Every structure is written in C-alpha cells, then in structure tokens.
Structure 1
Amino acid sequence: MRYLLFFITSFCFSQQYQISGNINNNNRSIENASVVIYDATENILGYSFTNNNGFYSISFEGKEINVINIEASSLGHQKKRIQIPLSQDRTINQSFLLEEKIEELNEVVLKTDQKIKIESDTITIKTKYFTNDTEQTVEDVLKRIPGIDVEEDGTIKANGKRIEKLLVEGDDLFDQNYKLLSKNLDGKVLDAVQILKNFEDNPILKQLGNSESVAINLKLKKDKLNIWFGNVTLGSGIVSENRWKESLNIGLIRKKIKLLYLADYNNSGTKASSQISSSFTFGNTYRQDRFEKEVRSVFNSYSGENTTFSDSQSIFNDAFFNTLAFNTKLKPNLSLRSVSYFALDEQIQDSFSTTEYNIEPTPISLTEEKKYNLQNKKIGGEIELKYNVNSKNYITANIIYKNNPKRINDNVLFNSDLVDVASKNKNYTFYNHIYHTFKVGRNKVINNYFYLGKDNLKEQNTIISPFLNDFFNVTENSNIKETATNSVSYIGFKSKIISKYKKIEHVISVRLENNKEKNENSFLVDNNFNNNYANNITLKQNIFGLENGLKYEITDDFDFDSRITYDIIDYETENFSKNYHILNTSNSLIYKFKKVGTFTISHNLNNSLPNINLLTENYQLIDYRSFSKGTSDINPIKSNSFSFSHNLFNTRKRFSTTTSLSYSKSNNTISSESNITNNFIFGNTVIINGGDNYRFNFNVVNYFRKLKLATKLETQQTWMNSPIKVNTNEFSTINTLLSTYKLSGTTYFEESINFDFGITQNRSYSNFNNNKSTNKITKANLSTNYKFSESFIAELKSDFYWLDKTYSFVNINLNYNPTKSRFSYRVILNNLLNINEFKITSLNQYTTNTSSISLIERYILLTARYRF
C-alpha cells in the first residue's frame, strides 16, 4: 500500500540551490558547453548546457550535502573541474575560463577532421573518408560506414543494436518513420555521422545514466546550415519501357527550426508504403514504455512476388510519396515536432506456380496463374510536444494518426477454374502517448505514462469462384461476399519509480489497462447470409500489472539484472470469463571484460494469452480457397528460454563481433490441424504440448588497415521442432533447419578503383513424416566503381543467383558531377543481359512449390539533379 501511495503523492524536504555563470575562452563565449554537478560520491545532482552567450543556470537539491564538484567541458577545450563548499547562501555564481585543447597520441596530433573520433559516448565518423561519390541517399552512405548495418527492409543498426532514432543536427524529425529520411535525403549533404551510445531522449532519465539505447545523428556540411538547401531530380527512360524518376529535397536546418520536405515519384520497383513504419510497441523496464495495439487482417491476397530478387529486379510498381517534417523550439524549454506523409503504390504482378502436397494417402497437385493488381495508400501524421518545465519536470505528448485504404484485384486461374477476387480495405488508426517525468530526489524519478488508442480495419471481399459456388451449392456465377470488421480500443496508465543508489538501480511500476477488441465477419452466398461461416466475437480485458526490476553491480565487471512482471487479467468473451494470473520473468548475469568483451547469460519465462484472431468459433474465409477456425481452449501459452551472448566492439580498430545462442522450450504452443482437399484447405487452431527451437547467430566485422578492406562474416542457424497435423488423426513433428551464411566486403583504396562484394547462401532442411526436403539459394554480388576523374565515375554492378539454374544481372551506373557546378547527371543501365523471367522450386515440409515470375526488362534511365 505504501508504494501505491507513493505513486499518488510524494513529499520531498530539500534545500534548493541555484548555480549560474558564464563559460568563455579569452573573452569569447562558448556555446553548448556541458556543465555537470556531482556530489562527493559522484552522483549527478544536475546538468545544463550554455546558451549562445555562454551562460548556464542549474537548480539542484543540497539536502545533507556539504560540498559539490562542478565540471565544465566543451569540444576542443580542456575540461575544468572545481570543488565548492555549500553554505547558507542558496545562490552561487561560478564562471569558467576554458583553454583550447590539443591532444597528442603516438606523436600524431588529433585534428577535428580526423576519420573517426571517439569522445565519451559519441563516435563521430567523417563520411568523406568512407564514400566513393556514387551514393545517392543517406542510406547509401550509412551502408558504407564500418559499424553501421542497413538491413534489407531499411532498418538501421549501429554496433549491433537497432537504433532508437535517426537525428538531424541533434534533433529528431521522423521518430520511428526514419526510413523516410534515410532512403530519400541526399547523401551529399552529410559531413559526418555520429553514433550515440547510451542514448536517452528524456533529460530527467538521462541523469540516471545506464541507457542501453543507440541513436545516430547526422551532421550536415557547414554550408547547408542556416540556409535553404535541397535538390530536384528529373529522370526519364530512353530505351525499352517508359521509366521515370522524379524527386525533390528541400531543407532548412537552424537552431530554432529544422524542416525537411522530401518527395519521390518513380517506377523502378521501390515501394513507397514500405518506408512507413507499422505500430511500435515495446516495454522498457528501466525507461519509458510505448504501447500501440493493432488489428490483424482476416483475408489475404498473395501478390506472387518473390523476395529472392531485389525490388528493382522483380517488382512492377508505380510509387509516389511526399513527406514534410519539422522540429521547432517554441520557447527555450518547449519544442514542437511534426511529420506528415502521403504514400501511394500501384503494383501489377504476374506469376505462375505449381504446388504439390506430399500427403497421404494421395498427393494433391494444383496450378495457379495470377494477375495481381494493388493500390495501396498510406496517409498519416504525428505531432509531438516536449516541455522541459524545470530541472525536475519533463512532459512529452505525442499524437499519431494513420489512414490506410487499400484496393486489390486478384485474378487467378486455379487449375482450370477462373477465380476473381476484389478486396476493398479501410484502416483508421489513432494513438496518443503522454509522459510526465518527475525527479523526487537526487537519484529517484517517477515516470507516469498515459496512453490510449484505436485501430479499426474493415475488409470487403467479393469472390467469384466456380468451385466455391459448387461447395455452397449455388449457380456458377454467384458472388461470395465477406465483410470483416476488426477493431481494438484501449486506454491505460503506467507509473514507475526509478531509483538509483550507488551500485543498485531499482524500478517498481503499476499498470492499469482496459481494452476491447471486436472481430465481426459476415458471409453472403448469392446475397444470402450463411451464419455457419460468420463470426461475432468481443474480447474485453482489464489488466492490473506489477513490474519489478533490479540491476545490481556486483563488481566493476559483474552485473545482475532481474525483471519480473505479474499481471492479473480479467479476460472475457460472450461465452467465457476468467481471471488469469500471468507471470513473466527475466534474469541475466553480465560479465564485462574491457579487452575481451561482454558476456551475458539469461533465462526468460514467457506467458501470454491467445489473441482474438485465435478465438473464432466458426470457419472464416482467409483466402479464395482456405478456411480457418479458432480454438475454444483458452489457456496461457508458456515457454522457457535460455540464452548466451557475447559482444565486443573496438571502434578505433573498426572491429566488432557478436555471438548469441538460445534455446526455447514450449510447455504448450499454437499449432494447426489441416485438412487439404483438391480445392480447399480447412485449418483448425489448437493449443498443444511441445515444440522447441535453437538459434545461433554469429558475426564479425574487421577492418584490415594495410589492405584498406572492411569485411563482415555472419551466420544464422535456426533449428525448430513443432507439432502439426495434416490429413491425419495424429500429430506429427516437423523438424526444420534454416541456415544463412554471408560474407561481404568493402574496399577504401585511395586509388581510382574500389570494390563492394558479397556472397550469401540460404539453406533450409525439413523432415515431416519421412518426407525430407532441402533448398539452397546462393547469391553473389560484385560492385566495381572506377573514378576516371574528379567529375566522372563509373559503377559496374553484377548480381549472380544460383537456383534451379544460374541468373546473372548486370547494371552500369555512370555518374557525372561537374566541378563547380550545381548540376550532376546519372545514366542507369539496368539488366543489360535482359533476364526477363525466373523460375524456382522449393521444398517446404510437405509441400513442393515451383514458381515463376516476370523480371523487369532491360532499360536505360537518364537523370539530372540540380542542387541548391
């Protein structure tokens, strides 16, 4: 009870001190200098930064403190630290005179223009030393920097961790939609990239330290600051199909306002909608949480596209998007951030496939010839206010709105039957997050989080299918209509006390949440309702949750981290009501060797309840030939997992290695009972005992100084054993092994020629009822760029695929950047060998699938870019 009362009221008897002054160098004010106040045991009492006049002011509590240490530092200056005794006078004036700093290491003077500079938790990397002048976007630049990985979907990792934010000159503009920035902002405007370790956006929480987040800050060239800048690109195909590329960048980066407008229109295979992030949910025991719930689609129309090849080789799509983002300081302690976007994809995809189900007693074969047409729009916006009330209070309010209408026309020749599918989807989403952080003591913080949201999806599907009509005993041209409305609305509050004392960091939190989900689908056959294939479910949950976290620094090198969550859930549907007590735990031992790296051993106990999609009482149509039904067995899904990991990062040597091994054992798991016929698939959801998996990941990044070569070697191994039932009365176990091997490299020669290369092999192996299947796909790429002069660079890109047969793609990019000119020109020669179709056979569990799709034919695209 006393903890609960502490969340509501807190009393703090303290002595307030105010310290202020100026920081300068030879009568020249130093802006953005850091000033930090410590007590005698090195706990942080407060901190601030100087304004453009070199002035700072800090309020702090001095209860039971006799003396403080105050430290001033600034980039390029000697750090200065002094000790001040506290007296009855609560106002202290203390100014600093900082001397310029020149450091010497191994008889080499460190200059501000060095390649990589490490200062505290910030790693600054000058981009000009790692680029070759062919990069078009920020993402292209990041791909070439050691220590930064850009995954295929655009997700960015730094030092092995997914980044929290992608900042521009220290400010956030796009939040989780940072791919809009990385994939579209001109890479030529960058001067440096900063990796920010121990990143924390909340200044009150930042005083506690020990954040595990990573962010990246983009530093722009000095001539791009305080002025309008940007570029416009116009491009048109001159050979083969009508290809085009138009884009626009407009930016203004100042202290008080940062603004970016980005737009793009092309038909080269890029998807505009894939740059928009989906909902973003995470629980962070020691920092701020974020909860965004979303519904799941019922009906699926598969495009037929294959992920083996890149989008520019296999996706037939017209894409358009524009986005406006800005961050401005309304007052010195009040900032406003906003981002809005519109994205449109119009995709046409043709494919052909044959499938054979190797099941008893008789295998089943089928063919599908698809003509898929998609129109996908994403419209949305986000507004965020950050208010630094004072040294003790910090408030953030974030509102997000999304609208995602989608139309699909899917024409399928299934065996000898023509099936037409028309889908019209409407999806509206609203999220609201409000955070209040309050410092109640030198090392104690209360973080209150209020959240609410709603996600509503309505799907209207019309199917004309002869074999479906025969199944329902209606005429051949009758329509099947399915309308599915899924929605979730919720409101919640979470409050946590974060305390730090010497070697212990402790968190205790309380969460209250009410959420309501609806899953309704009606089924009409020839305009007559069929209630046997309709569902109407409402799921209500009231959650009372407690969370406890404890970090203990056993020694300087040895840490213990324990987290426990306990939820009492009132779980209620129309036909079922029960209170569940859900316990989840996580315990880790972390051992840190300065030269060898960090070792972590963990155990997790995971418990969760089935979501509403698994509770349907009747079958519902989930594609033009598949029906699915949920389960009445509502029990927690339980599993135990054990893991070991090792991480080592040496930025100066540009060396890093990451290793992880995990084992997960499911007490019970979600599986399916499938009945496959010549025309249909009927699937029942079941919760069954058993199922386990092993995962092993390893990667090593190394820079060979003498060779001027950066390489990355990585592998991922996943072993899975899961129960499944297909056309039998008994469950059988599917044993699956998925393997990936990758080797890639980049050269940084000072000569005219440089290379990027890589080879990847994906293997899969499965065994089901003595049916063994093996797949292997190998891809190799080699990119050679040659600088004929300062203005003219040629890039030869070659991709090779080994599937059922070998496929070779050759592209050439010619870049002409006249010196002292605002114009630059590019010629793209795509798929010179004119490979226009590919075919692949894959064996998966009990299924053999052979598919073929068209590839984008050879074309030449000429673009001209004007930078201002």
Structure 2
Amino acid sequence: MKKHLSVFLFLFLMINAFAQKTVSGVVKNNEGERVPSASVTVEEPGKDAIIAYAISNSKGEYTVTFTSSAANVDVKIKAFNHKATTQQIKNDTQTYNFNLQTEATEIEEVKLKTRIITKKGDTIEYNLKEFENKNDRTLADVLAKIPGVEVNKDGSVLYQGEPLIKFYVNGKDIMEGGYGIINKALPKDAVASVQVLENHQPVKILEDKVPSDQAAFNIKLKKQVTMTGRAEIGAGTNIGESALGDDALFNAKVTPMFFGQKNQWVVNYKANNVGDPVENEGNLFSFGSRFEGTRRSNAQNSWLDVEKASTPNLPISRYLFNRVHYFSANVLTTPFKNKEWELKASGSYTNNDVERASYTERFDKLFNQTSTFERDNRFFTNKAKGELIFTKNAKLGFFKNVTTFNQYWNADRANVNLFDGAKNERKFSEQALESPSTSFQNSLSTIIPWKSKLLNLQSFISYQNDDQTLRSSPGNYLFFPGTIPSQNLFENAEKINQYFNIETFEANHSATMGFTYKKWTITPEIGYNFLTNDVYSQLTQISAGNQFGYGPAFNNDLKFRQSVPYANLGLNYKNENWSASIRLPANFTNITAEDPLRNLNQDFSKTTFEPSGFVQYSFASFFKTSVFGNVNYRFADVNNLYAGYILGNPTNISSNDFTNPVSENLSKSAGGRLEYRNPLNNLFFNVNYNYSNTKNNLISDFTGDGTGFGVLKFVERDNEFVSNSQNVEVGKYFPKYKSNVSVSFRNSDSTSELARLGDFYDNDSSSQNLGFKLNNSFFSWMSFDYNFTMGWSTNESIFASTSNESFNHNLNLIFYPIENHSIALNWDQINSSLAGQTYKNAFYDLTYQFAWSKKNIDFELKWLNIANKNLFERIDDGAFSTSISRIQIRPSQIMATVKFNFK
C-alpha cells in the first residue's frame, strides 16, 4: 500500500510543481471603474487555441491558471462596451492588472448561436437540444448522450462514474433522492439546459466553509412555471410460449408534474406485466450532505429465505415476469413569504407479483460430484411508504426534519426439485416465507449561527420490527450430515417451521461547533450512538398434525446492545483552487450480548481512531486532481453473536460458536483521481486508482455435503482481503458530426482466504473490462446508439486456474424513411465462455413509431425478442464449484402503445 501511495503522491507533486502557472489581477477601464464579467483567455502565441480562461467577478478581479511549455503566453481581455486588448506576458505566476478603453458596442445585426457546453466556476451547463435525436422523448433519453454521464434503467445517474449528491429541478429538490421518476418521465421539450454543479455543498450556510467532492444536477426548465408530464398506454400479447407470466400484456404510465416558484408536485401511477420494474424509479439514489442528517434506504432484516431461481446478466426487462402496480405522490410547497422554509410530503405504494424459474447443474470441486436443481418461485410484494420533510436552507441558518414510515407485507414461494447425482436420489420441497415488517425513522439536523461560530445539532432515531416465518415440506428434504445432533433429525417431519423475530432500536445524537479562521473551518463534534437488537427464533416440526419443538439448540433469545460515545475533529479548507476535508474521529465502542438459554454474557469494549478525508486541487482551468483515504473498524453485530441453529433457507442452517471472540474487522482504503473537463473542445477524461485492505479475526466456514446443503459457522483465524483497481474513461463530443464517443477500461485484482470443511485455501482473482459507447445523430435519415463491454477474468485456487470471458453489446439503430415515421432495430448480445464452453445469447427487437406532431402523440408498435429465445444459458465458476444455468426469460411478444406529453 505504501508503494502505491508514494507513487501517486510523487505524481501529484510533479503536477503541482511543473504543470501550472497562475495569473491574477484586476480589470479596470480608463475611468477607473472596475469591470465585471470580462472574459480572460490565455493562448500560446501564434496558435488560435485557448488553453485557459476565466471571468472577472463583481469587483473586476480575475484568476486564471494554465499549463504551457511556451516561454510567453497571450492574455486577451474582452468586455461589453469596452475595446478588446491583448497582452503578451512571461509564462510565470504573477499579478497583472488591465486597463480597458471604453468603447460603445454597436450591434447592427444579431444572430443567436447557443453554445453546446459552457463552464463558469464549478458549474458546467449543457444545451440539451444539441444532444438529442428525433426519437428521444424524455430527459433520461438525452442525458445518456452527454459526455461523462451514465443513466441506468431505473433513472439513476452517474457523473464521472460517481452518484449525484442532489438532483434539482429549477433549483428545488422535490424528490429528495428518489429522482428516477422525474428523469424517466420529464419531457425533453420542457428542459432548456442541464447544469452540473461540481464540488456541490447543498447546505448554503456551509458553502464557503465545508467543501464537497460530489456533483449535483440542476434541470433548468424553459419556463419558471411549468405544467408538464408524460403518459403512455399499451397492450399486447405473447406470440411465443412460456410457462411463466401472462399471455395478455398491458403497460400503463401516467406521470403529471407541476413546477412553480412556490409549489411543485409530481404524481405517478405505473402498472405493467411486461417486465418493467417501475417501482425502482422511486428508490433513493442520492442522500445529500451529512450535515443534512441521516438518510437511509429502508430495507427489511431478511434472515430467512426460500431457495431462489438464478437471474441472468441481461437487461431486467428480458427476464422479469411481473404484475406490478406502483403509485407515488410528491409535493413541495413554500408555506411562508420569505421562501426559506419548504414543506415536502411524499407517499408511495407498491403491489408486485414476480415469477421466476431456472435449471442449474452444479459441480462441487471438493466432492467431485454433480447435482441439479429446478427452482420455481413466486414473490409477492406489498409495500407502503410515507415521508414528511420540513426544511430551511438559508445563508443564515439550516433546519431539516425528516420523518419516514415504512410497512411491508411480503410473501415468497418456491417449488424445488433436487437430484443428487452421487446418491442417484431425487428430492422435492415446497417452501413458503411470510415476512411482515414495520419501521419508523426520524432525522433532525439544525445549524444555528452563534456569534462567529456555527452550532450543528443532529438527532436520529429508528425503530424496526421484522417477523419472518419459513416453512418447508416435507421434512426429509433437509439434510445436514454430521453437523447437527442427528443426521435424520428431519426425516419424519411433514413440515418444518422456522420462526424468527428481530426488534431493532437505534438512536444517534451529536453536537458540532464550527469555527472559521480565514479559509479554514474547524468542526469539533461529540455524539452518542446506541443500538439494541432483541432476537427470538424457534425451529419446530409438524408431524401427524402435531407441532413439536426441537429444543434449546434450535432456539435463540438474544439481547444485543451496542453503545458508542464518540468525539470527532473536522478540518475543512477551501479556496479558489484547493479544498480539503479531514475527519479525525475517536470511537469508544462497548458491546454486550446476553442469551440465557446458553448462559452467554459477552462484554466487549474497544477504543478506535478512524480518520478519513480527501484533498482536491483544481488547476489549469480544466484539470482537477484528488486523493482520499479512510480507516474503518467494524465489530460484531447481532448476526455474529447468536449461538442457536437458525434455518436461513432449506439448504443452509447456521449458528455461531459463542466461545469465539467478538469479530473485529479493520478496513483501510486509499486512492486518487485525475479529471479533465474542457467544454471548449468538448473533451473529458478521468483516471482513478483505488486500494483497500480488510483484516478479520474470524472466517466463515461452510460444512456441506456437495449438493449445497450444509452448516455455516465462524472460525477464529486471522485473514485478510486485499484489492486494488485502476480505471480510465475518455469521452469526446464532436458537435460537427453530432457524435459522442467514450472509451473506458478497468482492471481489478484481489487476494483472499476461504474456508470449507475446516480447511483453508488461498484465492486470487483478476478481472479486466473494456467499454465503448457511441451516439450519433448526424444524418437526418438515421441515428444510432452503440455500447459494448468486453470482460476477462481469472481465478486461481488450490483446485485449478480458470479463465472466463464475456462480451455484451447493444445496438439501437433508428431510420427515418418519411417525416414523422421511424423504424428502430435493437440488438442485445450477451456471450460467456469458460474452459472452451461458450454460450451465446442474442435478442432482437423491431419498433415502428409514428409521431403525430400536431398533437404531440406517438403511436408505437413493437416486436420484442423476434428470435423467440426463451432460455438464457450461462456458465459460472467459483472457488469451490462450477455451475451451468438455464433461466426462463420472456418469449417473443407484440406491444402497441400510445405515448403523449401533457403539455
């Protein structure tokens, strides 16, 4: 690790020492007045190419940083109603003031030409119209074509490979992280431009005090008051046969939106059985600044599960057999005249029914035997969420309170056929899981100015209750040889019942005082985090109509408590080029666990120092480099301290040896990043390096019989996981050809130790991925999007050295033969190979669309999966097993759809 850090630090210092010079000064006119908004550009003599630029501020001050090997550079100053001037100066850091002659600017004829990309400070603005093609309809369609931007199927956005910290519409964050709904349904014609706010600090009172290395998006609409939205209604049928799903298909999406200066609202109803997971669009994709309080994506504590069919590495719409209804509503209002306070309310409800089926051949390398599984699933989801947010975000104060309620009523089903090749024996199992869950969270954060200081008070409380009941019949399906009191414990049971309940309460309170000195902000913090888990579990069987318990060995009654008083010192620095944020926390962890069934009474305490932080430097106008690092300790949670057996799923029973010490996990990570973003020539690239080392005092050991049945325990043994990765991405937009091209490459290496049947094995793995993306809309009669990734991976263990290859590509080719008519061909290709075995999966779609331009209505006819491929084949290789899977996917189908904007 030290070697990698020293190399990066050397490069970092070389860049700072030799790569940049800075010129600053004041721009005045001949009347002695300071000139704001003057453009300052730096060029090499004799070359018509701008190497750096800046804009003078309201006081006429400017600073421009550049990189050049020339002895001299030309500095050009332009300002409205002033005569432009050029001055040649030495290529050195210096102060240079300019005096401009006033001169009236006469405009005889005006021609407006919109810039494609503009940059001012940390804000890059994209003219959205320059990136769209004729068939793009929503914001997400066009965002995917912007250099450095990735849009996922659920509407989430990555910028330079990293998630956003905020997603605003006209400067307001109505969705509070769940912005996928807007991204997928906001008509592109309502949008004027997209602003990327780099190094964005969303808390206004901290803007010049606490730096950020994350980016936000602001969607600027054409009108300050906009009523818009999108809807589509579709119907169709399967023309290929399938054992899953419905033959009659439907798709309905209705998302009206209103964006005003005081009020905003978004209402959304979506339902379909065509494999579109619309409920994921409301997931939390951004969580804001830590000073805004604690935001979490709520999830159930799922300790129990049925056996699940495999899923393919395909776009989810290719294999998802669903029947979903999803409703959500978000409202934002400013209830007071000063507009500093905002009230946000949101609610959502999901009802979903998913089917899944797969066939798997699994070869166990230790036992040298093959077993097969046929799994059929049915997953039922009912989920409701409500949230109320009250916020004041002003230069003189901050307040935010978030109250969230979640309720689940979920149920899963599985039918499993197992053939044990070694015993020539076939088994069958019917499995059912009921898992209701309730949770409540409240997060409060306020920042109060106090003289020259800032006081930040935060409070977070959370309560969650999870009930789970797993049933499997007949009992003789379960088989755990030599690992529990009797091999035939379940032989005569008609049904096995595993009941589990966990009740969780967490409270975290802290106070932070902020002191500002020049460019520094120092934030000492004290806090207290308290967590409780009460666990109860019981394993029973039903035989001849009577229910019997298996005794204390299969029960748990555990009370887990964790208290962590902590103190932290935050050091933050920010000026025009440099920003840094370092946290120096000391945590005083105490853990207790009581289990009266086993006379277990553990008490563990430890003090830890866990620093983290980043340093970022911007130079030469277009470059930004940063380094980061952190140290993190994680100790035993309730998952590590229960000692009675729990049937996690019908093939896996687990317990922990309570004589083991409390588990300790120490993670260290570090890395660096270099970015270049030049809107003048539309070129972007980033280079990243990441290193991590995780040390553990316990290792998980699975004792099984070769078919997948077994017991999971933890063994006391020091082990570590080491990984490092490097990736580079280069993107270029060619406005003359309306083409966006990007190439990326990633390499990752890791080493670890694995355990099975009491033996320990070293495992090394390596992977490489090459990606390419091209969008083109140059021709009036054609446009296309093309993406491909190629992957190579190797895995070396005691058993063998194996190599895998994969190739995925997507081509979306659209022809416009007649005005308002288009024909699109979509081709997905997914290949995988291992040890000479190759599986190729090709999918073709054909779409005809007529755009009724006068009414802004689209009529679409789509033929999906033309080749009627209904099985996906894949080969996977792991440290202990190799498996071949055949997975049910959606057959050929026809869909007719009407799509329109509300305005």
What is aligned with 1:616?
A: 642
What is aligned with 1:3?
A: none
Equivalent-residue separation in structure 1 for 2:325 and 2:442 (angstroms): 28
What is aligned with 1:91?
A: none
1:172-215 deviations in Å (ceiling 9; x for gaps): 12112222332344444333222222333322223536333322
Equivalent-residue separation in structure 2 for 1:439 and 1:851 (angstroms): 61
What is aligned with 1:354?
A: 361
C-alpha contact 2:753 2:760 (8 A) present in aligned 1: yes
What is aligned with 2:406?
A: 402
Equivalent-residue separation in structure 1 for 2:136 and 2:381 (angstroms): 29
What letter is aligned with 1:491?
A
CA 1:635 to 1:409, structure 2 compared with 1: closer, same or farther past 3 Å? closer
What letter is aligned with 1:257?
N
CA 1:276 to 1:230, structure 2 compared with 1: closer, same or farther past 3 Å? closer
Shift of 1:363: 1.8
What is aligned with 1:846?
A: 880
The equivalences for 1:463-612 within 5 A come to 463-468=472-477, 471-474=487-490, 476=492, 478-526=494-542, 527-530=547-550, 531-552=552-573, 561-574=581-594, 575-586=601-612, 588-594=614-620, 597-612=623-638
3-state SS in 2 of match to 1:832: coil
What is aligned with 2:462?
A: 453
TM-score by length of 1: 0.83
TM-score by length of 2: 0.80
What is aligned with 1:385?
A: 390
Shift of 1:766: 1.4
Matched, 1:236 2:235: yes
Shift of 1:844: 1.2
What is aligned with 1:88?
A: none
Q: Which has the higher contact order (CA 8 A, sep 6+)?
A: 2
C-alpha contact 2:176 2:286 (8 A) present in aligned 1: no
Shift of 1:462: 0.7
Shift of 1:578: 2.5
What is aligned with 2:342?
A: 335
What letter is aligned with 1:200?
Q
CA 1:839 to 1:768, structure 2 compared with 1: closer, same or farther past 3 Å? same
Shift of 1:756: 0.9
Equivalent-residue separation in structure 2 for 1:798 and 1:648 (angstroms): 33
C-alpha contact 2:233 2:899 (8 A) present in aligned 1: yes
Equivalent-residue separation in structure 2 for 1:278 and 1:619 (angstroms): 35
3-state SS in 1 of match to 2:414: strand
1:417-456 deviations in Å (ceiling 9; x for gaps): 11111011112221111111112345x3222111111122
CA 1:676 to 1:528, structure 2 compared with 1: closer, same or farther past 3 Å? same
C-alpha contact 1:205 1:445 (8 A) present in aligned 2: no
Matched, 1:438 2:448: yes
Shift of 1:399: 0.8
3-state SS in 2 of match to 1:573: strand
3-state SS in 1 of match to 2:670: strand
Q: 1:752 aligns with which of 739, 760, 781?
A: 781
Query: How many residue pairs align between the two structures?
Result: 774
CA 1:466 to 1:540, structure 2 compared with 1: closer, same or farther past 3 Å? closer
* CA RMSD across the alignment: 3.3
Matched, 1:837 2:871: yes
Shift of 1:579: 2.2
Equivalent-residue separation in structure 2 for 1:718 and 1:105 (angstroms): 52
CA 1:724 to 1:239, structure 2 compared with 1: closer, same or farther past 3 Å? closer
Shift of 1:598: 3.0
Q: 1:633 aligns with which of 644, 656, 661?
A: 661
What letter is aligned with 2:430?
D
C-alpha contact 1:773 1:844 (8 A) present in aligned 2: no
Which is worse superposed, 336-345 or 267-276? 267-276
Equivalent-residue separation in structure 1 for 2:686 and 2:860 (angstroms): 38
1:346-369 deviations in Å (ceiling 9; x for gaps): 11111111111101xx32321110
C-alpha contact 2:871 2:888 (8 A) present in aligned 1: yes
3-state SS in 2 of match to 1:275: helix
Matched, 1:364 2:390: no
CA 1:323 to 1:140, structure 2 compared with 1: closer, same or farther past 3 Å? same
What is aligned with 1:264?
A: 270
C-alpha contact 1:668 1:687 (8 A) present in aligned 2: no
CA 1:245 to 1:667, structure 2 compared with 1: closer, same or farther past 3 Å? closer
C-alpha contact 2:165 2:287 (8 A) present in aligned 1: no
Equivalent-residue separation in structure 2 for 1:391 and 1:523 (angstroms): 58
Matched, 1:667 2:681: no
Matched, 1:697 2:697: no
Q: 2:858 aligns with which of 824, 827, 834?
A: 824
What letter is aligned with 1:537?
L
What is aligned with 1:22?
A: none
Matched, 1:723 2:753: yes
1:376-416 deviations in Å (ceiling 9; x for gaps): 1221021111136x763322111111122211110001111
The equivalences for 1:209-248 within 5 A come to 210-222=211-223, 226=225, 228-237=227-236, 240=239, 241-248=247-254
Equivalent-residue separation in structure 2 for 1:736 and 1:381 (angstroms): 44
CA 1:557 to 1:867, structure 2 compared with 1: closer, same or farther past 3 Å? closer
3-state SS in 2 of match to 1:177: coil
Equivalent-residue separation in structure 2 for 1:279 and 1:663 (angstroms): 25
C-alpha contact 2:729 2:745 (8 A) present in aligned 1: yes
CA 1:289 to 1:657, structure 2 compared with 1: closer, same or farther past 3 Å? farther
3-state SS in 2 of match to 1:172: coil
C-alpha contact 1:506 1:551 (8 A) present in aligned 2: yes
Matched, 1:419 2:447: no
3-state SS in 2 of match to 1:128: helix
3-state SS in 2 of match to 1:731: strand
C-alpha contact 1:279 1:294 (8 A) present in aligned 2: no
What letter is aligned with 1:173?
I
3-state SS in 2 of match to 1:212: coil
Equivalent-residue separation in structure 2 for 1:617 and 1:383 (angstroms): 40
1:606-631 deviations in Å (ceiling 9; x for gaps): 22212211222123111111112235
1:803-848 deviations in Å (ceiling 9; x for gaps): 3232221112222112211422111111112112121121111211
Equivalent-residue separation in structure 2 for 1:234 and 1:367 (angstroms): 42
1:38-88 deviations in Å (ceiling 9; x for gaps): xxx99xxxxxxxxxxxxxxxxxxxxxxxxxx99999xxx9975599xxxxx
Equivalent-residue separation in structure 2 for 1:474 and 1:289 (angstroms): 49
C-alpha contact 1:409 1:423 (8 A) present in aligned 2: yes
Equivalent-residue separation in structure 1 for 2:745 and 2:460 (angstroms): 40
Could you tell me the percent identity over the aligned residues? 17
Which is worse superposed, 699-708 or 342-351? 699-708
What letter is aligned with 1:661?
Y
What is aligned with 1:856?
A: 890
C-alpha contact 2:237 2:895 (8 A) present in aligned 1: yes
What letter is aligned with 1:270?
D
Q: 2:824 aligns with which of 766, 781, 795?
A: 795
C-alpha contact 1:417 1:466 (8 A) present in aligned 2: no
CA 1:143 to 1:640, structure 2 compared with 1: closer, same or farther past 3 Å? same
What letter is aligned with 1:194?
Q
3-state SS in 1 of match to 2:115: coil
C-alpha contact 1:328 1:337 (8 A) present in aligned 2: yes
